Structure 1
């Protein structure tokens, strides 16, 4: 998968660097990226819903990451405006 907002040269260098990394370093990098995505998503949800409690934040984050159907199966009720 190529990055569309990056020059082909930079994209090639990025993929070359990934290929040179040992597997455990690639996994660590993927985990850090995943955590960063969750933190950014949660910050966005908190900004839009400043009064939300922990449970509501978890539900809205599940909707954002996995969709309404999955969040509904996990939590039951999902706010209609959850995105």
Structure 2
């Protein structure tokens, strides 16, 4: 996503918390059942330049909004402040 490209991932675990299906990437089931869906997702992206570019842009925006260092530092400070207040 940081490179402005659509992400392909499984709809399990942390991936589905980060990648929004049809917004920042395309998700497919894990394991053997997911191979057909993965192939379909790849074909869709290869054949649909506008969708590929839109999904890539959305992903890049999400990274800029949520995962760049200064955002992570701000979130970390918030957690530290909350922890310090609880310990008083």
The answer to whether the superposition gives a TM-score over 0.5 is no
Q: Which has the higher contact order (CA 8 A, sep 6+)?
A: 2
Answer 1 or 2: which has greater strand percent: 2
After TM superposition, the score normalised by the length of structure 2 is: 0.39
Higher helix share: 1
